[in-house]
Structure 1
Amino acid sequence: MKALWRGGVVCLIAVCAWSSAVRTQSCSNSSVALQFGTIDKHEPKRTPNTAGSLTQLYSFVHLFLDAVQPNSFPKDLLRAALEKHIEPAEVARYEAGYIVCLIIAVLYVLLMPLVGVIFACCRCCGNCGGKVKHDQQSLSCHRNTLATCLGAITIIILAGVILAFIANGRVAENVDPGVQSVISDLKDMAELLSSLPEKIRFIVKGYTVPEKKITEELKDVGDQIGNAIILSLESSAYNAVRELSISAQEAVHVTELLQSINETTATLQSRQISLVSGLKHHQEALQAIMKNCRNCSALSPYVGKLQIDANYSEIPSVEKELKSMPTANLTNLVEKGNKTFHDIPQMCRNQTTKKVDAIILFLDDIQKSIMQSSEQFPSLESISQQIANIQNPIASYGKEVQRYDFYRWAVAIALCCVILFIVVLNVLGLAFGIAGVSSRQQDYHESCLASTGANLLMAGVGFSFIFSWLFMLTVFVTFVVGGNVYTLGCRSWHNKEIFAFLDSSQNLLPVGLNISEILGTNFSFSEFYMTCEEGQSMYDYLHHSQIFDFNDILSIDKYLGDLKNQVLNLSVDLSELRLLSDEDKKSFDDFKDSGTDKINFTLLKSQLSRPVVKTDLLGFADLLNQTAQLQTDSSKQKLENESISIRVLHNTTVRQQEKDAERLNASVDALSYISKDLQRNIDNALQSINDTQNKINSTVPLIVQNYAQCILNRGIGYFQQYLMWAKQMILNRILVCQPLAIYVDNVYTVLCENIIDPWNAFWHCLGWCSVFLIPSIIFAVKTAKYFRPILSRPSISFKMEDMFQIPKAKMIESKTNIYANPFNNINLNWNT
């Protein structure tokens, strides 16, 4: 019974799930987004900035160069240079900061060797770094201060030389990749221009994407129209099937209830015969015992009630109603109706196949017509060839640049190693000097370690004098080159001043670089670069819309007439569709007329509401036990036996009758609840099925026409997507000038950020070390002097008796703290 009931519930759940799935299948006039091919082969890669941890150093160098050269981009000066009318005074005024730096560098280059020669002469005379002549009270303090200052300056020089090593390495690392990046960008630019016609043909062939999508929808148009019909009728069909499913469940449940009532009633009636016999037997036995029993008069009322109360033989039979139930499986009929409704897409597909094939052939003709226009786009092969011709000279010069950069790198490494050697001498000098001073007993004692430290410091001083002029000369040469490249090129490039200069000086450019003359229009480098940087189309900027009319070639208006006629001629006929046959309807009518609503439920309830026995057998058994205890003869045993027998009768037969009566009562309640609305529910379900059938016959033609129009609108939408994609690809992908801006930015990154910035950082760090060599020399000389032993010693002449003379103590006038610290208040005078 429970299994059949669960089967009906599963059927209802399946209907609900089917309705939810169908609700998502509707015809939308809006076309889905198509996935067209992309053109990304010539997407240029931006050259990465290799500054890394040196970014702050580069920024500091930029600030220094901006302070040296605060003037703006010299448009007039460069224009005069192009016209070969250079005025030295103007150049000197613009390069004033560099001239000041030149004067400082010249003074450094001249004075450092001169001071070195003077120092060498002084040192040969025993001065300048010699020994301290007299013992000083603060000798240790002076020595520690000088050593600390020298150590700090050495650390500063060490930091500078480390950064110089790193910056020099960055320049060497970036030269070869930079040259290769420029060559690669030129190659990409040439390929970009030479492949334009091929990519135009690719875009025209992109028509196959909407064609394929429309073809797929047309091949599936039968199912889609069928689903649209289902979607339109889902509300009424769902209600009809739901009501029919409920009636089928009720039929299953009613059948189960009738079977249960019939079986339970038979069981109750059969067991009632045995119960009546048992009660009668106990009644007769107790009456016989009571004749010889003392004080048994209290049992008489209970013995008279040992009779059944509920007479189950009076329950009417439901065999007639059970036989009147339909033999057909109503649940299967509901599933059959669902399947018929689900078969609508298959019927529609069978009826639309031929017309769909004709529309697909028409779409193939449109593709052939569009493909004939793919050769009309003009070729840019000549411009691509000119760009390709530039690659070889750049590659040749690039090798020379790499060779000379190797020489530059080697010289820079040598200079940095010299500075590093000076740093090592300072560090070793300080280490040996401090160790030697700490180990000697007196400052006038000779210490090998301290003397070695002093000599190492003096060696560092010597190397500083010998190479300092070379350091400064290298700094100034690289500073002039790198600084001017930054201020004239990189800085003006970054703030777009150089583009403004090119706009105002195109007439001074060589013939091959005068873009305005080539294009025959007023060309602006700055506007063009900004346009390209924003990702706009080169086609729109150069006003070439008349060269190639994409709208005419990619227009589909002339094809829509025939396409519209063929699509709107689609039709579907579902007049033969039946959700529920007449025979199936008769099965539901048989269930409705089964007579379950005419069962006398009142009589059933009246019998089932009465107790099985008129008296409480368990209470009566207890009373028998109590009465037996009052007896002294054989009546006692007889009463006890009867008490046991009555308990057994209650626990077996009476309890089983009570359980079956409860089960029968539940079945009667359920059957009564279902039967009161049974006929109305079946009538409503059959009426809903009829209404749904009528809606199918009346609304299918309109649904088919609406869906055909929907298919047509979606097809037009697909073509419009293709047209918009083609225009976007041509104007904003193929003719986009953003790659040109990226190529220009890559040149800026290679030249300015990856080469000039570390170049300038190198001379800055080398100049940093050169400047700090001056205090390093001063403190090294001073510190070395204090590492050597002092020349004069304190007098040690004394008399022999003085060795045994007891010192005389003198009391200090203050007597208050004489015992606090006696050594503080005693002045020992040693007589020498």
Structure 2
Amino acid sequence: MTLTLRVLLLLGLCWNTISEGPPSSPKSPAGLEFQLPSTNYETKDSYTPGPIGVLFQMVHVFLHVVQPNAFPEDILRKIIQKKFDLSTDYEKPESVVLTLKVVHYEMGIIVCATLGLLFVVLMPVVGLCFGLCRCCNRCGGEMHQRQKRNGAFLRKCYAVSLLVTCVVISLGIISGFVANEHLRAQILQTRKLAGSNFRDLRTLLNETPSQISYVLGQYTTAKEKAFSDLDNIKSLLGGGIQEQLRPKAIPVLDDIKAMAAAIKETREALLNVNKTLGELKKSTARLSTSLQDVKTNLEQSLNDPGCSVQPERATCDDVRTTLNQLDDNTNLGQLPSLDKQIDNITHVLQTDLSSLVQEGYKSFNDIPESVQNQTVDVVSGIKSTLNSIGSHIENVKEQISIQNKLTGFSDQIDDVETYVHRTLPALEEYNSYRWLGGLVACSVLTLIVTFYYLGLLCGLCGYDRNATPTRRGCVSNTGGVFLMVGVGISFLFCWILMIIVVLSFVVGGNVEKLVCEPYQSKKLFQILDTPYLINEEWKYYLSGMVLNKPDINLTFEQVYSDCKDNKGVYTALKLENIYNISDCLDTQQFTQNVSSDFENMEVNIDNIVLLDAAGKKNLQDFISSGVDRIDYGAYLAETAKTPTKVNLLTFAHGLEEKANQLPQGSLKRSLASNAQTVRMIYHGQVVPLESPMKTLHQSIQDLQHQSSGLGVKVHSIISSLDAAQNFIANSLSSVIVQETKKYGNMIIGYFEYYLQWVKISIMEKVAACKPVATALDSVVSVFLCGYIIDPMNLFWFGIGKATLFLLPALIFAVKLAKYYRRMDSEDVYDDVETIPMKNMQTGNIGFHRHQTTQNL
């Protein structure tokens, strides 16, 4: 145990006293993650005996029944305080009380052991007396069987009872064989178990320096990450400042850019509308002229004399009433042109607003470049400081001269391993002798029960219920002889077997109750952790031995539990009470320098102009252009009309029908000719007008929608521009300070995270002492309790049960042998009497003894 604790102290070689607890797990910065390589160990965490574990549990239940008392913590404490010497001052009252408590606790085992010793003493005596009596024809030694009315019933009862007893004995023998072989096999596994534990301990020793080197070496990873971010200050710091200004600046610039595009689009739309409107005015004028000519021709044709007589007069009057439909339906010529608005927009576009907006974008996008140019010297100084921290870390690695210390402990482990491997052959040899002795014991029991089985088999198979006792068959007689041989062997060896049972029971039962069970429940550790128990001057023995501070609450139970959970030795042994991992890694001076560099970093960005005065004047001129004051209603009303009042095709068709009603002549030809002219006007002038008018109507609608609320929009853009420019002017310095602090905290955070990770790794992960707890479990729980005590207890439980049941078995065997063996004499009934007569000499009823030489 001392060796183990010395191994676990190695990590504290360079650290000074602190009182802080283990730090909490830090949150890793983005892009920086440390992971200590895991260590794999060979020895399993737990031991399972397999199917035989059910038998072990059965023995545990039996021991609990025999020894139901709770673990005697107070008794053991007092015994340890007396240095395990109970012979001194035995007359003192406290010694007497302690002895009585020990006897009371061991009462169950003492009673069982006493009964076993009585068995050992009485069985040879009883066997000797039994043998002498049998030789004197007493105790059933006389070869004469008295006839009884219930003889058949008794024979069957004895046979069944003996069979059941033999089955119970057989189960005990099987348990003995299994336990004996299991113990032998497990002892052979001890070499493998010891080897894996020693390899795990060496792995712990060998991995500890590399783990420390790995942990300290990860500073390079943190430094490279910091250097990468320092080289990327343009996007990280400059981009951060940009992101703070973006919600204010970019939307305004986007709106101005969109407005610049809208101004150009408005001019194009005005030009298009104005051009289309001019063309339509000319087309409608030509259409009006053409219609007026047709109307004049029709009026002249209707003055024909043929229209003065009936029925032609009615037709002519009808045509005359429709002449007013041949008029132009639109007043496009009265709509004013858009030349003034176009001239105003053209004047506005003389200032390139898009270029001014691009200048605003450029001044905003130049922020990262400006930040980088102004922080070259600061970044260089910070890198120099970080390199100094790296040199300090390298010096820390050199200060930890742990490898030389580990070599000494490795040599001690080699010595222990050499001793174990030198002792194991002797243990295996002694185990072979023990295995042979257990095999002989089980074989003796097997021999006895075999004779009983053979006796039962021969007796049952050879028994003839019609044969008299003096004429029983050879097979039946052999069965009786087998039974008596089994009885004789039982008397000869059962007391020796009981000696083995008592000795192994006392040892195995006490080890199970006093070592194995309290070890599993950690009560053994609680006893060792009793203040002032092992050393009267130390409150806590382990803290006094490890920390040289016996008042610190460092217990065996806590150390074992922490090591079982694979925690680091620093946490398990509470090395924070004597060693400070922060002193060797104290880089506070360096980090303060880095913080000061960031605090003193000066970044001046005073050239951000989103839009100059010319651009603002350009926007205001656009408002005064008059685009939003155009009478779009008039334009839409006229462009929505059809070019003519009526459909000219319908008019032409009606005119032809009326002409057809007239008789042949000039009037009819004139009307038909004018109808054809109307059709030509429709196809040549009206149809080409319809599509442009629809297009013009849609263009005017779009222009109206585009110019709707133009003043409000531009005023809103100008207000937003002024607000954004004021924010940049008034808040830019605070934004720079805020982002610089955030950026500096990010760089310093890498090293704070690294140092925090180093502390956690040293405290909880480096030199994780699980192999120590596993080695202790292997010695106590696996080797002592699992490999030795459990099979030993099963062995004495099995052969003890078998030996104990030999007592009723031999009684049943002796009784049953009378029914199978051939007798020298027997009781014979008188044939002449139906009711037995009393023989005065023998005292029997109705029969007299008859020698086997007589004929019946």
1:261 corresponds in structure 2 to 273
> What's the secondary structure of 2:509's corresponding residue?
helix
**Structure 1 position 360 matched with structure 2 position 396:** no
Q: Deviations over 1:317-343 (max 9, x none)?
A: 446756745489977875674454233
1:241 corresponds in structure 2 to 253
User: CA separation in 2, counterparts of 1:721 and 1:753?
Assistant: 46
Deviation at 1:181, TM superposition (A): 4.1
Query: Does the C-alpha gap of structure 1 residues 539 and 331 become closer, same or farther in structure 2, counting only changes over 3 Å?
Result: same
1:309 to 329, 352, 364: 329
Query: Does the C-alpha gap of structure 1 residues 32 and 519 become closer, same or farther in structure 2, counting only changes over 3 Å?
Result: closer
2:585 corresponds in structure 1 to 554
Letter in 1 for 2:45: T
Count of residues paired in the alignment:
722
1:825 corresponds in structure 2 to none
1:750 corresponds in structure 2 to 782
2:558 corresponds in structure 1 to 530
Question: Do the aligned residues in 2 keep the contact of 1:170 with 1:754 (CA within 8 Å)?
Answer: no
Letter in 1 for 2:329: D
Q: Deviations over 1:464-502 (max 9, x none)?
A: 988996998887676555433311211122333433554
Query: Does the C-alpha gap of structure 1 residues 524 and 365 become closer, same or farther in structure 2, counting only changes over 3 Å?
Result: closer
Question: Do the aligned residues in 2 keep the contact of 1:225 with 1:707 (CA within 8 Å)?
Answer: yes
User: CA separation in 2, counterparts of 1:293 and 1:747?
Assistant: 140
**Structure 1 position 392 matched with structure 2 position 418:** yes
User: CA separation in 2, counterparts of 1:675 and 1:777?
Assistant: 124
**Structure 1 position 495 matched with structure 2 position 526:** no
1:574 corresponds in structure 2 to 605
User: CA separation in 1, counterparts of 2:195 and 2:654?
Assistant: 119
Deviates more, 1:75-84 or 1:362-371: 75-84
Question: Do the aligned residues in 2 keep the contact of 1:351 with 1:572 (CA within 8 Å)?
Answer: yes
Question: Do the aligned residues in 1 keep the contact of 2:216 with 2:397 (CA within 8 Å)?
Answer: yes
Matches within 5 A, 1:360-509: 360-376=383-399, 380-381=405-406, 382-383=408-409, 385-401=411-427, 479-502=505-528, 506=534
User: CA separation in 1, counterparts of 2:387 and 2:652?
Assistant: 100
Letter in 2 for 1:751: F
> What's the secondary structure of 1:367's corresponding residue?
helix
2:852 corresponds in structure 1 to none
Query: Does the C-alpha gap of structure 1 residues 282 and 228 become closer, same or farther in structure 2, counting only changes over 3 Å?
Result: same
2:108 corresponds in structure 1 to 97
1:670 corresponds in structure 2 to 702
Question: Do the aligned residues in 1 keep the contact of 2:451 with 2:483 (CA within 8 Å)?
Answer: no
2:93 corresponds in structure 1 to none
User: CA separation in 2, counterparts of 1:409 and 1:628?
Assistant: 141
Deviation at 1:349, TM superposition (A): 1.4
> What's the secondary structure of 2:62's corresponding residue?
helix
> What's the secondary structure of 1:506's corresponding residue?
coil
Deviation at 1:203, TM superposition (A): 5.0
Letter in 1 for 2:243: L
Larger radius of gyration between Structure 1 and Structure 2: 2
Question: Do the aligned residues in 2 keep the contact of 1:310 with 1:610 (CA within 8 Å)?
Answer: yes
Question: Do the aligned residues in 2 keep the contact of 1:499 with 1:526 (CA within 8 Å)?
Answer: no
**Structure 1 position 228 matched with structure 2 position 251:** no
> What's the secondary structure of 1:372's corresponding residue?
helix
Deviates more, 1:464-473 or 1:755-764: 464-473
Deviates more, 1:565-574 or 1:614-623: 614-623
Q: Deviations over 1:684-726 (max 9, x none)?
A: 4356446545654554444444444444445555544444444
With normalisation by structure 1, the TM-score equals 0.64
Deviation at 1:522, TM superposition (A): 4.0
User: CA separation in 1, counterparts of 2:118 and 2:58?
Assistant: 25
Query: Does the C-alpha gap of structure 1 residues 111 and 675 become closer, same or farther in structure 2, counting only changes over 3 Å?
Result: same
1:449 corresponds in structure 2 to none
Matches within 5 A, 1:54-453: 58-71=56-69, 72=72, 75=76, 82-83=84-85, 85=87, 95-102=106-113, 175=187, 179-189=191-201, 192=204, 203-208=215-220, 210-248=222-260, 250-251=262-263, 253-254=265-266, 257-258=269-270, 261=273, 265=277, 272=284, 292=312, 304-318=324-338, 321=341, 324=345, 326=349, 337-338=360-361, 340-376=363-399, 380-381=405-406, 382-383=408-409, 385-401=411-427
Question: Do the aligned residues in 2 keep the contact of 1:200 with 1:377 (CA within 8 Å)?
Answer: no
Question: Do the aligned residues in 1 keep the contact of 2:238 with 2:367 (CA within 8 Å)?
Answer: yes
Deviation at 1:671, TM superposition (A): 1.6
Question: Do the aligned residues in 2 keep the contact of 1:31 with 1:715 (CA within 8 Å)?
Answer: no
Q: Deviations over 1:657-683 (max 9, x none)?
A: 666545433432332232243344345
Question: Do the aligned residues in 2 keep the contact of 1:605 with 1:665 (CA within 8 Å)?
Answer: yes
Deviation at 1:651, TM superposition (A): 11
> What's the secondary structure of 2:263's corresponding residue?
helix
Query: Does the C-alpha gap of structure 1 residues 571 and 93 become closer, same or farther in structure 2, counting only changes over 3 Å?
Result: closer
Structure 2 gaps of 5+ residues are 1-26, 91-95, 467-475, 817-856
User: CA separation in 2, counterparts of 1:232 and 1:621?
Assistant: 74
User: CA separation in 2, counterparts of 1:769 and 1:179?
Assistant: 33
Question: Do the aligned residues in 1 keep the contact of 2:356 with 2:612 (CA within 8 Å)?
Answer: no
Deviation at 1:240, TM superposition (A): 1.0
2:633 corresponds in structure 1 to 602
Matches within 5 A, 1:627-646: none
Letter in 2 for 1:506: I
Question: Do the aligned residues in 2 keep the contact of 1:172 with 1:406 (CA within 8 Å)?
Answer: yes
Query: Does the C-alpha gap of structure 1 residues 585 and 162 become closer, same or farther in structure 2, counting only changes over 3 Å?
Result: farther
Letter in 2 for 1:240: V
Q: Deviations over 1:174-230 (max 9, x none)?
A: 556665444444454466467767765655555445544443333233333312322
1:790 corresponds in structure 2 to none
Query: Does the C-alpha gap of structure 1 residues 96 and 339 become closer, same or farther in structure 2, counting only changes over 3 Å?
Result: same
User: CA separation in 2, counterparts of 1:761 and 1:317?
Assistant: 119
Deviates more, 1:344-353 or 1:238-247: 238-247
Deviation at 1:394, TM superposition (A): 2.1
Question: Do the aligned residues in 2 keep the contact of 1:58 with 1:761 (CA within 8 Å)?
Answer: yes
Letter in 2 for 1:671: L
Letter in 1 for 2:782: V
With normalisation by structure 2, the TM-score equals 0.62
Q: Deviations over 1:746-774 (max 9, x none)?
A: 54442366434466457657777888999
Question: Do the aligned residues in 1 keep the contact of 2:166 with 2:452 (CA within 8 Å)?
Answer: no
Letter in 1 for 2:518: S
Deviation at 1:649, TM superposition (A): 9.3
Deviation at 1:570, TM superposition (A): 2.5
Deviation at 1:68, TM superposition (A): 1.8
User: CA separation in 1, counterparts of 2:445 and 2:339?
Assistant: 119
Query: Does the C-alpha gap of structure 1 residues 689 and 523 become closer, same or farther in structure 2, counting only changes over 3 Å?
Result: closer
Question: Do the aligned residues in 2 keep the contact of 1:190 with 1:388 (CA within 8 Å)?
Answer: no
Letter in 1 for 2:416: I
User: CA separation in 1, counterparts of 2:287 and 2:808?
Assistant: 128
Letter in 2 for 1:241: L
Question: Share of identical aligned residues, percent?
Answer: 25
Question: Do the aligned residues in 2 keep the contact of 1:568 with 1:709 (CA within 8 Å)?
Answer: yes
